[in-house]
């Protein structure tokens, strides 16, 4: 049986030998598709670069908006002129010397440190207990418990200050350092709870049962397993809550009475003629708060790095 074949055009080789021409291949459509895909990829890449550039510009503007006043206060704190002006006068430490020799500033600083340290310790303990309760136990109304535990930072500070003043006045605690500590603990404890709860969520749930199976009591498990695992978060929460207490003004202004913290003292300096000492005090408060926050961030970053290494990521 014969089979019809479509003859392909012949071509002659330079040697004189006829050769059959090859049929056209299907590479052309594939190449066109590849070029189209590459074109779209380049377009998407350019668009992504544009979005990234716009995002960086937005971030830089946001940081400039936040930190420009702080930078101006820092610069003018070294200005010898009484009033901030451009160009600057001579570089001087006169305003820092004035702050260092002012007994009112030292009194406010002592009150601030006393309140801040105790607030940090108490808030961290309460936050750890609240976070462990949420992690360890299941009970009815748990969502309500979480909502109430994390509620104080969402309340406007003026409302919180008035509420704390009304409550503490009823129990004869208003107007002393204890009232400021109680108020700051209410504000700061939710931050400690959130930080510690995040750490507990990374713990293997089998660790506690394993310790119990090996004969450890609940207290031994807490001391040798839970607390060591949460140690970075505990110290991070301590520094964060101290920084929040150190900066807090509104609630302290309502309840402090004569035991004014340093931010409340600054308000007193603002009444009447503005003093250049405020720039020096503001710089000191900012540096102290940022130091605490950076220490907390370093602890939490080391914690996350160790967790990623342990989990094999």
Q: Which of the four pLDDT bands, split at 50, 70 and 90, describes residue 6?
A: very low
Q: Which of the four pLDDT bands, split at 50, 70 and 90, describes residue 282?
A: confident
Q: Give the lowest-confidence range in 2-6, 53-57, 278-282.
A: 2-6
- Per-residue pLDDT reduced to its tens digit, 172-188: 887 788 999 999 999 99
Q: Which residues have C-beta within 8 Å of that of residue 192, sequence separation ≥ 6? A: 123, 124, 126, 127, 128, 131, 237, 238, 240, 241
Residue 168's CB is within 10 A of a number of other CB atoms, namely: 20
Long-range contacts of 65-73 (CB under 8 A, 24+ apart): 70/282, 70/286, 73/278, 73/279, 73/282, 73/283, 73/286
User: Is 126 a residue whose pLDDT tops 50?
Assistant: yes
Q: Give the lowest-confidence range in 15-19, 215-219, 268-272.
A: 15-19
Instruction: Report residue 265 as tokens.
Output: 């003292």
Which percentage of the chain shows pLDDT scores above 70?
78
Say which residue, 24 or 241, is predicted with more confidence.
241
Residue 14's CB is within 10 A of a number of other CB atoms, namely: 5
Average pLDDT for residues 50-70, to the nearest whole number? 85
- Calculate helix-pair angle for 103-136, 177-200, nearest 10 degrees: 40
Say which residue, 300 or 156, is predicted with more confidence.
156
Q: Give the pLDDT of residue 8.
A: 47
Distance between CA atoms of residues 174 and 256, nearest Å:
7
Mean pLDDT of the chain: 79
Distance between CA atoms of residues 100 and 199, nearest Å:
41
Q: Give the pLDDT of residue 118.
A: 95
User: Is 119 a residue whose pLDDT tops 90?
Assistant: yes
User: Is 140 a residue whose pLDDT tops 50?
Assistant: yes
Instruction: Report residue 124 as tokens.
Output: 């961290």
Distance between CA atoms of residues 175 and 253, nearest Å:
10
Report how far apart, in Å, the C-alpha atoms of 297 and of each of 57, 124, 228, 234, 306 are.
Answer: 25, 16, 18, 12, 14
Best CA proximity match to 198, nearest among 149, 151, 234, 145 = 234
Q: Give the pLDDT of residue 120.
A: 93
CATH superfamily of 103-311: MetI-like (1.10.3720.10)
Q: Which of the four pLDDT bands, split at 50, 70 and 90, describes residue 192?
A: very high
Average pLDDT for residues 119-138, to the nearest whole number? 92
Highest mean predicted confidence (pLDDT) among 89-93, 105-109, 277-281:
105-109
Distance between CA atoms of residues 212 and 210, nearest Å:
5
Are 82 and 90 in contact by the 8 Å Cβ rule? The answer is no
User: Is 117 a residue whose pLDDT tops 90?
Assistant: yes
Best CA proximity match to 92, nearest among 277, 282, 275, 285 = 277
Say which residue, 78 or 311, is predicted with more confidence.
78
Which sequence spans correspond to the domains of the chain?
103-311
Instruction: Report residue 111 as tokens.
Output: 């009150």
């Amino acid at each position: 049986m014969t089979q019809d074949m479509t003859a392909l055009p012949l071509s002659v080789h330079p040697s004189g030998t006829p050769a059959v021409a090859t049929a056209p291949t299907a590479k052309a459509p594939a190449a066109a598709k590849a070029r189209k895909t590459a074109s779209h990829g380049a377009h998407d890449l350019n668009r992504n670069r544009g979005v990234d550039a716009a995002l960086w510009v937005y971030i830089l503007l946001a940081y400039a908006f936040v930190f420009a006043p702080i930078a101006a206060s820092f610069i003018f704190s070294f200005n010898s002129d009484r009033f901030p002006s451009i160009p600057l006068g001579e570089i001087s430490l006169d305003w820092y010397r004035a702050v260092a020799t002012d007994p009112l500033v030292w009194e406010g600083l002592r009150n601030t440190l006393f309140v801040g340290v105790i607030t940090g310790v108490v808030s961290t303990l309460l936050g750890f207990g609240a976070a462990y309760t949420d992690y360890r136990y299941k009970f009815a109304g748990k969502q309500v418990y979480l909502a109430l535990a994390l509620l104080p930072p969402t309340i406007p500070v003026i409302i919180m200050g008035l509420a704390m003043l009304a409550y503490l006045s009823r129990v004869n605690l208003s107007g002393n350092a204890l009232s400021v500590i109680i108020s700051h603990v209410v504000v700061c404890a939710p931050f400690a709870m959130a930080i510690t709860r995040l750490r507990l969520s990374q713990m293997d749930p089998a660790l506690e049962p394993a310790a119990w199976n090996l004969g450890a009591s609940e207290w031994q498990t807490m001391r040798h397993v839970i607390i060591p695992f949460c140690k970075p978060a505990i110290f991070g929460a301590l520094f964060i809550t101290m920084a929040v207490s150190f900066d807090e003004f509104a609630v302290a202004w309502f309840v402090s009475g004569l035991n004014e913290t340093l931010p409340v003292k600054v308000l007193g300096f603002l009444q009447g003629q503005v003093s250049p000492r405020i720039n020096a005090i503001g710089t000191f408060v900012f540096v102290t708060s940022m130091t605490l926050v950076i220490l907390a961030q370093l602890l939490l970053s080391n914690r996350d790095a160790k967790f990623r290494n342990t989990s094999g990521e």
